[in-house]
C-alpha cells in the first residue's frame, strides 16, 4: 500500500490560512474591549457586546456555509470568507462610531465563520485516509465502527 503524503501544498496553504484567521480573531477579540473603553469611552456593557457580536456573526456565517457548501463548493466559500474577513479587517482603521463598529464586527464575524468552516472542510478532504485510519483496540473502536454508528458515508 502506497503511503500518501500529509504535508501537501494544499494542506500547508490551508494550515497557514487557518492560522492567520484565528490569530487575527484572537488579537481583535482581546483588544476590542479595551479600545471601546479607553479610546471610544464606552461602557463595559458596550465593550463586552462588541466581543459578543463577532461570535454571533461567526455563527451566522458557519450556518450559512453549512447550507451553501454543496452548491457553491469549499474552495469558492474559502475565497469568499477570506476576502470578506480581510476587507472588513481594514474597516477598523476608519470606524470611529459604535453602531458602525458593531456592523464591522458582525460582518467580520460572518466572514470568519465562512472562512473557518470552509477551511476545516478543506482540511478534512485533503488529509489522506491512511493518516486518519484508527486501529481497532479494546479501548478505541475503529473509525469504521463510528461511521456505521453515525451512518456516515465511507471515504473510499
Phi then psi dihedrals of residue 116, to 5 deg: -65, -40
Place of cell 462588541: 50
What value does the mean pLDDT take over residues 96-120? 93
Contact (Cβ atoms closer than 8 angstroms) between residue 54 and residue 110: no
This prediction's pTM: 0.77
DSSP letters, 41-73, are ---HHHHHHHHHHHHHHHHHHHHHHHHHHHHH-
pLDDT value of position 120: 87
φ/ψ region of 127 (left if φ > 0, alpha if ψ in -120 to 50, else beta) reads beta
Has residue 51 got a pLDDT over 70?
yes
The dihedral region occupied by 151, where left means phi > 0, alpha psi between -120 and 50, and beta the remainder, is: left
Does residue 134 surpass a pLDDT of 90?
no
Tell me what pLDDT residue 128 has. Answer: 75
Domains in the chain (CATH in brackets) are 9-150 (1.20.1250)
Residue 137 pLDDT grade (very low, low, confident, very high; cuts 50, 70, 90): very low
Q: Answer whether residue 112 shows pLDDT above 60.
A: yes
Q: How far separated are the first and last CA of the chain, in Å rounded?
A: 14
Q: Closest Cα partner for 13 from 75, 103, 70, 85?
A: 75
Q: What is the pLDDT of residues 53-89, one digit of tens each?
A: 999 999 999 999 989 988 998 889 999 999 999 999 9
DSSP one-letter code for 80: H
pLDDT the model gives residue 19: 92
Amino acid at each position: 500500500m502506497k503511503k500518501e503524503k500529509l504535508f501537501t501544498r494544499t494542506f500547508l496553504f490551508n494550515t497557514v490560512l487557518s492560522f492567520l484567521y484565528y490569530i487575527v480573531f484572537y488579537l481583535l477579540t482581546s483588544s476590542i474591549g479595551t479600545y471601546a473603553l479607553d479610546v471610544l469611552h464606552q461602557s463595559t456593557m458596550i465593550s463586552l457586546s462588541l466581543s459578543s457580536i463577532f461570535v454571533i456573526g461567526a455563527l451566522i456565517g458557519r450556518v450559512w456555509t453549512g447550507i451553501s457548501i454543496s452548491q457553491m463548493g469549499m474552495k469558492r466559500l474559502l475565497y469568499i470568507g477570506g476576502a470578506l474577513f480581510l476587507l472588513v479587517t481594514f474597516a477598523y482603521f476608519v470606524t470611529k462610531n459604535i453602531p458602525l463598529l458593531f456592523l464591522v464586527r458582525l460582518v467580520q464575524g460572518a466572514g470568519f465563520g465562512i472562512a473557518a468552516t470552509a477551511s476545516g472542510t478543506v482540511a478534512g478532504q485533503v488529509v489522506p485516509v491512511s493518516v486518519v485510519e484508527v486501529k481497532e483496540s479494546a479501548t478505541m473502536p475503529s473509525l469504521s465502527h463510528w461511521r456505521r454508528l453515525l451512518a456516515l458515508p465511507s471515504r473510499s
